[in-house]
Structures are given as C-alpha cells and as structure tokens.
Amino acid sequence: MVTILKLGGSVITEKERPETLDGPSLDRAADAITGTGRDLVVVHGGGSFGHHHAERHGVSTDAGTTDAGSAAEIHGAMTTLNRFVLERLQDRGIPALPVHPLSLAHRDGRGSLTLPAGGVETMLGEGFVPVLHGDVIPHEGEGVTVLSGDEIVADLAGTLDADRIGLCSAVPGVLDSGGEVIDRIEEYDAVADALGGGEATDVTGGMAGKVRTLLDLDTPAWVFDLDCLAAFLGGGSPGTRIG
C-alpha cells in the first residue's frame, strides 16, 4: 500500500520571495504526516528555492546548461530546501532519508527519463520514508535540465506500483471556471474548458498539464490543500479525485 505524497513548492515556500521557507506551513505538513505509518514516499517541489535559480540560468525541463556552477547553484538551493523538509520530519520521529535526483536520474537525447527506483523500494521495505525533490539531472546533449517534482511523482507511481498519489497544493482542488472544487475528473475532455480558462503560472507546468499527466497513470490521485492533508493520509478522498 504505497502512497506518494507531493508537497507543492507553493505550499512549503513563499513563492514570491527567493529562497524563503514557509516554516509554519511545513510544520503543519510534517504534523499531518506524523504517525501515518509505513510505505510513504514524499516528493517536494522547488518553490522559491529551485525556480528562482532555474529561471535566472534559463534552465527548464528541456533547455539545459553545461555550466557546472549554474547546475550546482540550482541543485544547492534544492538540497537546502530538502534539508529543511528532512529536519522537520526527523524532528517528529519520521524516519526520513534524502534521495537527490541529480545522483539518481538522467534523460537520454530524446528527453526520455530514467529514474531507477530500486533504492527507494529498498528504503520503503526497511521502514524509511524517502524524500525526493525537484532538481537538475544530467540530460544527453543538454548538460543538465530540470526534473520537476510532478515528473518524479508520475514516474515513481508506475515503477513502485503505487496505490495512491496525493498532491498537496496551494488550492483546495482542481477548480472549475466558477472557482468551485471539481469532485472527480475521469476524462480530460470533460474539464478542458474549465481548465483552459485558468492558466497557472509555473515553469514546470500548470494545472491542465498536471491533470493530463495524472489521468494517464494507473494510480488514482487527489489534489487538495494543507487543510486536507491529514484526511488524505488517513485514507480519505478530499479535494479532487483524478482517475
């Protein structure tokens, strides 16, 4: 019963101010995770840590850099945020261990991602909580490019044969054009108009892209906000169910 939980960068950081943690929100997330038991993988986004540096160096998921200094700067900002997340979890007795995608994953010349999950599976089997994050990764012909937290979630869901995906975001669910939370999305066409109207601004893909990707997975996903994290981890169905 593997659960993958994505903590959105906009939830745990102050997205408008470079490298600024939203400490109270991270504390609330860590409180909700405490005591939820085994078989949990946490993935967090970059928020104001990663995106700021990635934009400054012109690095995205398909445009890279071969400059090691730029790569190290983006990666360093993300590992700083990762250390904050790990500390808050470990402080509460959650056996969290870091997994840095720069060490693990890569893309080939066509941009296809390889993310070997054997180490993450072994950590889960031994009772640890692996904590991954958006990062830069080596990319054939591009130097390094961005790997988003959302891509990690989608990839791991398949390789780990996950049972549930939770996306803890800044909004209470996927919203229709009237601003109401959509209860469930089973096909994209049914919500395309609603989503097309509300462009999210995020270099690693807005809500429409997230919904499309999640619908392609075999694992059901829920989009909800921090108020509903405990309910999701308790087995509930808050926010919007996708798939």
| Binding positions for its own copies, rule: CB under 8 A | 66-69, 71-72, 75, 86, 90, 94-108, 114, 116, 118-119, 121-123, 125-129, 137-144
* Nearest distance in Å: CB 52, its own copies: 20
Query: Which CB, 11 or 132, lies closer to its own copies?
Result: 132
Which phi-psi region, left, alpha or beta, contains residue 135 (left: φ > 0; alpha: ψ -120 to 50)? beta
* Rg (the chain; Cα; Å): 17
Residue with smaller CB distance to its own copies, 111 or 197: 111
Q: How far, in Å, CA of 132 to CA of 152, rounded?
A: 8
Question: If DSSP codes are grouped into helix, strand and coil, which group holds residue 14?
Answer: coil
Q: At closest approach, how far in Å is the CB of 66 from its own copies?
A: 6
Residue 140 CB, nearest approach to its own copies (Å): 6
DSSP SS3 for 42: strand
Residue 21 near residue 84, CB atoms below 8 Å = yes
Q: How far is the CB of 217 from its own copies (least distance, A)?
A: 23
* Cβ nearer to its own copies, comparing 105 with 242: 105
* Cβ closest to its own copies, residue 86 vs residue 242: 86
130 or 173, CB closer to its own copies? 130
CA distance 154 to 60: 18
Contact 182, 191 (CB under 8 A): yes
> CB 189 → its own copies: shortest distance, Å?
37
